[in-house]
Structure 1
Amino acid sequence: MSLTGWLTEPRTGHGLRVATDDAGWTRHDFPSLAVAAGNVAGLLRATGLRRGEVVSLLLAAPETFLAGFFGVLAAGGVVNPMPPPSGLGAGGAYPKQLTHLMRVAGTRTMVVDPQLAGTARSAAAAAGLAVTVLTAPGADQSGDGRPGRPVTPAADDPQPPAGDEVALVQFTSGSSGHPRAVAIRADNLLANITAIRRWLDMGAADVTATWLPTYHDMGLIGCTLAPVLNQSDILAMRPDQFIRSPRRWLSCFGEQGATLTAAPTFGYAYAARRIDPDELAGMDFSDWRAAIVGAERVSRRTLESFAALLGPHGFRTRAFLPAYGLAENTLAATGLRLAPPPVALRVAGQLRPGEPVEVIAVEEVGTDPSADDDWLIGCGDARDGVAVTVVDDEGGPLPPDVVGEIALTGRSVAAGYHGPDGPDAAFAGGRLRTGDHGFLHDGQLFVLGRAGDSLKVRGRNLYAEDLEARLAGVDGLSPERVVVLAGSAGRTPELHALIRQRPGPWAAEVARILGREGGPGVRIRVLSVPASTVARTTSGKPRRRPMFRAAMDGSLSGEVLYDSTEPGAWLP
């Protein structure tokens, strides 16, 4: 298998179906996509692209993005997907963010949607970069947006990066600060895609349905590149279409025969909360084989609520595949194997790095929407070509059931960070120190959270995601409305709860829980905030560090309902 082999032998009768805003679908079969990719490759060669140069893509439509992605590879370039304005937020902040991303990527050429050409040129000028900006070929033209420009298609002579050549510069989600650019080699990309196809036992009849953006690693590699190299059908929606109608996403499985997907926890939670059971009348989910759950903490309540909603229509909990991955490992690192349902653990006491975990209960995930979230969900074992260890602060391996930092080795581990971000000690010696804490139990990885999203208090770590899970459900608070920030102001440890809910009785219970978890000496703040206050990454994760800094300098908008340092503050 090669990255561009399908371009010369595209499968007929199958390809990409793209959701339109009038509830319809447009079809782009693999042969037409191969021709479009050849046009992009020819355009790049005609403009003098040199092998190994970075080509950034600013393309919103899935069919145009696919043509751009494989066209860059066929021309020998390095692909760098960038989020269009809808992915970074509209308004005046976008050009500045785009300028930063271009500097990090070292962009030399851009292929963009025509309406974004001016924005791209302005951002390049602000970055001080000499960038060639090309508009994506449309259906009736094969050049750079200027009718009549002759370009020789190049799909019949692809010259993609191979072996240890870098093929992809992928931005991280940036949950802990600015996104970083990861240099992913051709062999990394092929190894991870191969591992995903084997994990899911992908066949020619499978259909992948996705609403994830193609510039994000889970949407790109898991939901787009894997099925394209498998030459199996894809049903693609935009994120905003999913938000407007999660039922339409479910109809891909219940009415159109989709069998595979991947989404973050909040996607399943949103669907379970927004969809009325009557809306599923006539749907059949019995062919839904794999629903990968990743990108953030996996919630037992969310899984059981989703399964309870769809269960009467044939959905089975064994379709859930909790997984752990990150761009620095190309994508997938661990994942639950097909067939068994997810496993939930309840542990005693506090989880401290270097100390053993006491498991007091083990249960399979079921269909009880009232299940509490004080459980840890297993994210499966290592995928093909990946080795997972849990290590101490010095990098020494820890035994099972002991908390430490997750470390990865294998063919999927990227070359390192690209441009000004690299090299980095996280990749030292061919081993990736992920910065995430977790432990191994019965061969499965249980992920606790990022070391940078936690607060160490009296020898124990308080993880923001764990605290969010404890707060969700307080007086009806839903998980997507709760964000916890953890950090220190000088020597004072602080916990801030940002709640997207009008002030109410819930505030007292939230303060009590955080006060109990933090204990004496930890400042507790509870805020009611508008949705615009919660900054999120391109994959929907909270951008905790920038928000914590804003909370510290007073620029975070919202109403403070409780501050443990204020005179007269009511006691939690």
Structure 2
Amino acid sequence: MARSLVDLLTTHAAHQPERTAYRYLATGDCDGEVQELSYARLATRSRAVAAWLQERGLAGSRAMLLYPPGPEFISGYLGCLSAGVVAVPGVPPQGRSQNHRALTRMKRLIADSDAKVILGGHEVIAALGRLAEHLPELDGITCVATEDIPDEMAAAWREPDLTADSVAFLQYTSGSTSAPRGVVVTHGNLLDNQRVITERMGHTPDVIAGCGGELFVSWLPVYHDMGLIGPVLNTLYLGVTATLFSPLHFLQRPDRWLTAISRYRPHTSGGPNFAYELALKHAKPALLDSLDLSSWKVAFNGAEPVRAATLRRFTETFAPAGFRGEALYPCYGLAEATLMVTGGTVGVPPVLLEPETGAADAAAVGCGRPGEGVTVVIADPEGPRELPEGEIGEIWVRSASVAKGYWRNTLATRESFRATLPGHEGRFLRTGDLGFLRDGELFVTGRLKDLMVVDGRNHYPQDLELSAETCHPALRPGCTAAFSVDRGIEGERPVLIAELAPEAVGESEKITDLIRAAIGDAHGLSVHDVVLVHPGTIPKTSSGKIQRGASRAAYLDGTLAPVGATAVR
């Protein structure tokens, strides 16, 4: 029985050395440059990196990984695991617009993790060298471009003594800003969550044989838990093939995602809800005519609210290309549980709960059922009691996938990872997410900290954001932030910030009125302020989630630049 992913890599390299593990589309295009990494080559490169780390006595220490998109990250990550070094995936500075944010985050992660070495690509390591005088955090840290580590080093690799409790890597949560929290993920956590992903997504030997081992296509960033634990590591766990390309290439041309699925015919592919919306925006007749999506059996959708309207429109739009609605696969997970907690049933359409108003596009979308060995309960966040079915509360999780805690943060670990509940054995993870259970299906309604209380009633920002986004086509899906501000004697009042397509700037006053009317009709709320801003203005996490707290701070600081509506303070 495998003790770690390192053992599985050794097995695959021995039994199917020439099989392609990862195929990387260097330009994002199927007819462009394609780089392939076989299991034998992956084992060699990983062991070479591992031996380099072992030679320097770095076992047990932390290594920051700063790679551009590409297969070299995978070799670096597995090299750390193969050396008993704790990997710390990070976001490399890239482009002027992201440089400051990426540098700030990188410095915080280096300091918090106490990284002793930085592994990266040539360009990143060269850039760090040029920035050394501005980065005192790099003092005493060795930086190496792993492409320069020769294959011959692999012969010096020594298999580490890994157990289920050995720390594999630190996954810094996507919302981390001033106070980063590194989730401590063990080798046991990784193996258990791979088991859950495999079972829930139906990755059986028969399915793998049926798709010729072509299991995944993914553009998801590999420094984030969904892109790493899902497509990258489940590929290694099962010994199959994944086709990968850069998230930047996806954002430039979302049609590349569907073209790659049509070309390589994987069983599984997916992303957050916004990815499906972007694909819809680029669904031109010529593209639809060129696609065959009939092989796509699991179109997973997670990491942000899943919209019923998106599922409906995606199915209708891509049905002529062979896409089937039963492939839609809403799921729920978080870094603190390694990744997956619940997922749909393969081949069964998503569960939708129509609201009392009958507006089908606003239906609540089920995120599936817990994997085997995973316990999900809904708890009263104000007291240790389990809530009955159908009642909204905080989602609590118990499983072998739940991580050890937060790196060097005893207080936060105690608050989030050590919850107990009468009538249940063991400790639970408090997710901070709100939801309810119905017939075993989990429905996620929002974040505990984002909950808005207006005039004594609870409102979820996701609901207000959806109502706003659907009132006019010029409002960008997944690019709206709702929050409340304190108006003194008036109490908490709702504010909406929404990104507006450039061609609709002249209609900003009309669109503002439509948003106010939509919120009033659907939620009985009078909106204090609506601010329409340029695309790319609303703060998001590294994984694309709306940062409502940062949006609220920008609003209160007066640092937003409205395109039309004048803010009323």
TM-score class normalised by the smaller sequence: 0.7 to 0.9
Corresponding residue number in structure 1 for 2:392: 403
| Change over 3 Å in CA distance of 1:328–1:541 after alignment to 2 | same
Counterpart amino acid of 2:494?
A: L
SS of match in other structure, 1:397: coil
Corresponding residue number in structure 1 for 2:7: 5
Deviations 1:277-320 (A, max 9, x none): 32132432222111110001101111111111221222111111
Corresponding residue number in structure 2 for 1:550: 554
| Change over 3 Å in CA distance of 1:389–1:178 after alignment to 2 | same
Corresponding residue number in structure 2 for 1:510: 515
| Change over 3 Å in CA distance of 1:113–1:246 after alignment to 2 | same
Corresponding residue number in structure 2 for 1:17: 23
Q: Distance in 1 between matches of 2:479 and 2:191?
A: 37
Corresponding residue number in structure 1 for 2:424: none
Corresponding residue number in structure 2 for 1:172: 173
Shift of 1:453: 1.8
| Change over 3 Å in CA distance of 1:215–1:516 after alignment to 2 | same
| Change over 3 Å in CA distance of 1:372–1:201 after alignment to 2 | closer
Native 8 Å contact 2:65 2:87 kept in 1: yes
SS of match in other structure, 2:5: coil
Shift of 1:232: 0.7
Shift of 1:487: 3.2
Corresponding residue number in structure 1 for 2:164: 163
Deviations 1:405-453 (A, max 9, x none): 1111111111111134743401114311111111111110010010122
Tell me, which stretches of 5 or more residues in structure 1 are unaligned? 144-148, 350-360, 362-370, 567-572
SS of match in other structure, 1:26: strand
Corresponding residue number in structure 1 for 2:52: 43
TM alignment of 1:399-478, pairs within 5 A: 399-420=388-409, 422-429=412-419, 430-478=427-475
Counterpart amino acid of 1:276?
A: K
TM alignment of 1:524-535, pairs within 5 A: 524-535=528-539
Q: Distance in 2 between matches of 1:306 and 1:536?
A: 24
Shift of 1:456: 1.2
Match of 2:149 among 131, 142, 153: 142
TM alignment of 1:267-416, pairs within 5 A: 267-348=275-356, 372-392=360-380, 393-416=382-405
SS of match in other structure, 1:80: strand
| Change over 3 Å in CA distance of 1:175–1:529 after alignment to 2 | farther
SS of match in other structure, 1:475: coil
Bigger CA drift: 451-460 or 441-450?
451-460
SS of match in other structure, 1:287: coil
Structure 1 residue 34 and structure 2 residue 34: aligned?
no
Bigger CA drift: 126-135 or 227-236?
126-135
Counterpart amino acid of 1:499?
A: A
Q: Distance in 1 between matches of 2:201 and 2:474?
A: 34
Q: How many aligned positions are there?
A: 535
Deviations 1:313-340 (A, max 9, x none): 2211111110011001110001111121
Corresponding residue number in structure 2 for 1:227: 235
Corresponding residue number in structure 2 for 1:496: 495
Q: Distance in 2 between matches of 1:411 and 1:154?
A: 34
| Change over 3 Å in CA distance of 1:381–1:87 after alignment to 2 | farther
Which structure is higher in helix share? 2
Bigger CA drift: 490-499 or 244-253?
490-499
Q: Distance in 2 between matches of 1:542 and 1:100?
A: 21
Shift of 1:129: 6.3
Native 8 Å contact 1:109 1:132 kept in 2: yes
Native 8 Å contact 1:378 1:444 kept in 2: yes
Shift of 1:106: 2.2
Match of 1:55 among 59, 63, 73: 63
Q: Distance in 2 between matches of 1:198 and 1:486?
A: 38
Structure 1 residue 197 and structure 2 residue 198: aligned?
yes
Bigger CA drift: 202-211 or 267-276?
202-211
Scaled by the length of structure 1, the TM-score of the pair is 0.87
Tell me, which stretches of 5 or more residues in structure 2 are unaligned? 420-426
Shift of 1:216: 0.4
Bigger CA drift: 26-35 or 325-334?
26-35
Native 8 Å contact 2:116 2:141 kept in 1: yes
User: Percent identity at matched positions?
Assistant: 30
Q: Distance in 1 between matches of 2:195 and 2:128?
A: 34
| Change over 3 Å in CA distance of 1:384–1:127 after alignment to 2 | farther
Deviations 1:221-262 (A, max 9, x none): 011101112111111011111122222211222222122113
Shift of 1:37: 0.5
Shift of 1:207: 2.1
